[in-house]
Amino acid sequence: MDGSEQPKSKSKDKIRIVLIAVIIILAAGGAYKIYSDSQAKAELQAEFDTTKFELTSKLDSIGIELSDRITEIADLGGNIDSLVHLKDSIISQRDQLQRTRRANKALIQRLDRKVTGYEQLLVAKDVEIEQLKVINTELLSENNDLKVEKNQLSATINKASDRERELQQQISLASKLQAENMRVFNINSRGKEREGDFRSRQAQKVKVTFNIANNEVAPVAGHQIMIQVVDPAGNVVFDVARGSGSFQVDGKEQFYTSVQEILFDNTKQELSFVYDKGSEFAKGEHKIIILSDTYEMGRFSFNVK
């Protein structure tokens, strides 16, 4: 081999070494990324498993304690129907959690909030049990003086019952759906949409859009979503031939302009209503009222000039 071939050979060896080094570095980086992702998933799953175990234990404990209170309240002559139903619901939630294998942050957060409510309910039932014990004891040796005290105790129980009803109403209110990002458009004869106030001669067809706000308390369920377009005179714009109808609220008939059936799944789903009045809207301010089943989700207005 002459002198000129030796440098070339050395150069090729250096290039080969560099390439091998680059390949090793890339392979090491890829392996580290895979390892890092695997570790992160493992840590998330471990955290979920720990929280799941704690929540399952709490639900088991609450179920056992609730069973004890059901037995005690029944022996004291109290009403246990709603408590039995609640216990079945707690068992069902515990079983659902046990069946969940992969990390589910939303489920954990929802059950954690419910556990707090269940613990408060147990405290309230302890108060009720003590009140029932007092009443049962006093009934054994009833006299005129004790009648006054029993009346006071009855008033306390009535207040506790009223408070429980208020809490149930608060829960019911919290689970109601709400509309957000409400918008209204005028659609002209060429199908062009224009947001905001419109002129009378252009206002025959309107489009109403909105999102259903996030609500962790509300269950996944079917709902009838209605809109009422109320003219300046206070009358609901209504035409059966164009999809309008009526519904009952407290025994009274009310009308809606348009309706849709939906499945609420807590994904901030967007709804769109298009109503073709077939004639010009009256001049003045119109209200749009959005209803879910029979309660109001939101309202806004537009003006026809």
Longest dimension (CA), the chain: 129
- Total length of the chain: 305
Domain assignment present for residue 185? The answer is yes
Is 208 in contact with 301 (CB distance < 8 Å)? no
Residue type, 233: A
Cα-flanking dihedrals φ and ψ of residue 276, to 5°?
A: -100, 105
Q: Are residues 119 and 190 in the same domain?
A: no
Return the pLDDT at 53: 82
Return the pLDDT at 108: 77
Of 103, 94, 119, 99, the residue nearest 45 (C-alpha): 103
Domain assignment present for residue 50? The answer is yes
Type and span of the H or E element at 14: helix 5-75
Q: Are residues 110 and 57 in the same domain?
A: yes
Q: Are residues 141 and 207 in the same domain?
A: no
- Among 109, 143, 174, identify where a domain stops: 174
Return the pLDDT at 7: 64
Q: Are residues 162 and 185 in the same domain?
A: no
Alpha helices in 248-298 (DSSP H): none
Query: The domain spanning residue 191 has which CATH number?
Result: 2.60.40
Domain assignment present for residue 78? The answer is yes
Is 297 in contact with 178 (CB distance < 8 Å)? yes
3-state SS of the chain: helix, strand, coil percent to 5? 55, 25, 20
> 233: helix, coil or strand?
coil
Domain assignment present for residue 20? The answer is no
Q: Any bridge partners for residue 248, and if so which?
A: 253
Q: Are residues 45 and 169 in the same domain?
A: yes
The tally of domains found in the chain comes to 2
> Residue 256 sits in which domain range?
179-304
Return the pLDDT at 205: 86
Three-state secondary structure string covering 70-121: HHHHHHCCCCCHHHHHHHHHHHHHHHHHHHCCCCCHHHHHHHHHHHHHHHHH
Return the pLDDT at 277: 84
Q: Are residues 44 and 166 in the same domain?
A: yes
Q: Are residues 232 and 297 in the same domain?
A: yes
Q: Are residues 168 and 184 in the same domain?
A: no
- Among 144, 174, 204, identify where a domain stops: 174
Domain assignment present for residue 195? The answer is yes
Q: Are residues 168 and 154 in the same domain?
A: yes
What is the pLDDT tens value at each position of the chain, 305 positions in all?
555 556 666 677 777 777 776 677 776 665 555 655 556 566 667 777 787 787 788 888 888 888 888 888 888 887 888 778 887 888 888 788 777 777 677 777 777 777 777 777 778 778 888 887 877 777 766 665 666 666 776 776 666 565 556 545 544 545 788 999 999 998 887 888 888 778 777 667 889 999 999 888 788 888 999 999 999 999 999 898 888 999 888 888 899 999 999 988 889 999 999 998 888 888 899 999 999 988 898 999 999 88
Domain assignment present for residue 152? The answer is yes
Q: Within 10 A of 224 (CB to CB), how many other CB atoms are there?
A: 14
Residue type, 299: R
Return the pLDDT at 8: 64
Return the pLDDT at 260: 92
Return the pLDDT at 170: 44
Q: Which residues contact 104 (CB under 8 A, 6 or more apart)?
A: 48
Q: Are residues 158 and 183 in the same domain?
A: no
Return the pLDDT at 219: 84
End-to-end CA distance of the chain: 98
Domain assignment present for residue 160? The answer is yes
Q: Are residues 51 and 64 in the same domain?
A: yes
Q: Are residues 293 and 233 in the same domain?
A: yes
Q: Using CA atoms, how far apart are residues 111 and 124, in angstroms rounded to an integer?
A: 20
- Among 141, 174, 207, identify where a domain stops: 174
Q: Within 10 A of 289 (CB to CB), how many other CB atoms are there?
A: 19
Supply 79's token pair. Answer: 């009403």
Domain assignment present for residue 150? The answer is yes
pLDDT digits (tens, 9 = 90+) for 219-231: 888 899 999 999 9
